Structure 1
């Protein structure tokens, strides 16, 4: 099997994509020479720890939510710029970069969702289901990269940046409005609970639909290849 992770096509079709495609290279061109892609990856990872710890500490005071809010901005900066900086300076390490970037992303999101679940504003089981949905999408992205040479990080025009924006807006709303319980049949949910459920459904739906489409594409490719190589009688 030919592995395509080292050289793949990035599929990014998000609401913020046009802005990021202009802003991130511009920012990368202005970073000091001593700043390296690995520094930015480490910054993104530090920001994820900050977000998780801040959500957990919001049990003691809601002001810690602003540290989580700031952590989302810091995480976006580090996570979005590391690859852009490498491409701008032509210092890409395709295999290393792909592995480190996406393994740290998975760890970072795991920490963030656990931190949300430990806060008083989101049920832990909802955070766990949202995390499972995110990890399923990460698995799909890796499999699609190996199978088709396509690395997709956007679904329904939403990507990591949009997810951070949703988290930031929800966090700010909770800070200013407290934690009102929305009573539904059989259960009461907070605003972040409802956001977590919607995000979970988005992740799981995107995984199922994308996997079904990819399976159909691969089946067609394999059938075509089989017929092309089948000896003529």
Structure 2
């Protein structure tokens, strides 16, 4: 198990709250996935999970019945399984697809987030639809920050402090389910999540600029040394 954990976590730094338990579970699962299952299959499965979340939100809107939202945790669980294991499976089998997988995962994740945002937009009251738009924009902004951080620091991290994709899935699943028990709570909690994302984006952006300044200074020093 220890060797498996090392193999599947060698390409990224994780800081999210659930990291240790999540890594142990992923290591357990990749050792037991049938050989005929490929990383691309898992990527597609992850996308289907997010699309299913969007679909049940559309059903909830069409039928004016929040009971459908109780199914969203299933979709998020499917998305976690596919999205968390696709690249880890490739590393475990010693067939890493670093750049192909990097590009594919980013685009697929974005498609999934946009779909969920559209589902939210369709479900909520017209006066609150802007919140769904803001959520998609800010989540996309965090994705951009993660790619820029990778370019500047050469270290790939998909987390923002203590929160990573897994924690976000859990929070969103809880938000959608709570709507069934507390009608219209999705509006205010959705707004609160958007505010948290905004604060996180600003903090991450400032840290990114600091890292960029440090790298620029290092490059200038290197050039000055070569010139001398």
TM range (shorter): 0.7 to 0.9
Question: Is contact 1:43-1:74 (8 Å) kept?
Answer: yes
Deviation at 1:17, TM superposition (A): 0.7
Secondary structure, counterpart of 1:15 in structure 2? coil
Deviation at 1:217, TM superposition (A): 2.1
Provide structure 1 residue ranges, at least 5 long, that are not aligned to the other structure.
Answer: 1-7, 180-189
Report which of the two has the higher share of strand: 1
Q: 1:72 to 1:228 in 2, by over 3 A?
A: closer
Deviations 1:169-227 (A, max 9, x none): 122222233x1xxxxxxxxxx32122222221222222222222221222122223313
Question: Which residue matches 2:210?
Answer: 216
Deviations 1:34-54 (A, max 9, x none): 111111110111111111111
C-alpha distance in structure 1 between counterparts of 2:191 and 2:208, whole Å: 25
Secondary structure, counterpart of 2:162 in structure 1? coil
Deviations 1:62-107 (A, max 9, x none): 2321332211111111111111111111111111000001110111
TM-score, with structure 1 as normaliser? 0.85
Secondary structure, counterpart of 2:218 in structure 1? helix
Q: 1:206 to 1:106 in 2, by over 3 A?
A: same
For 1:10, which of 9, 12, 17 is the aligned residue? 12
For 1:197, which of 159, 171, 191 is the aligned residue? 191
Provide structure 2 residue ranges, at least 5 long, that are not aligned to the other structure.
Answer: 1-9
C-alpha distance in structure 2 between counterparts of 1:94 and 1:45, whole Å: 19
Q: Determine if the alignment matches structure 1 residue 118 to structure 2 residue 122.
A: yes
Count of aligned pairs: 214
Question: Which residue matches 2:52?
Answer: 50
Report which of the two has the higher share of helix: 2
1:61-210 correspondence runs (5 A)? 61-120=65-124, 123-177=128-182, 179=183, 190-210=184-204
Deviation at 1:112, TM superposition (A): 0.7
C-alpha distance in structure 1 between counterparts of 2:120 and 2:98, whole Å: 33
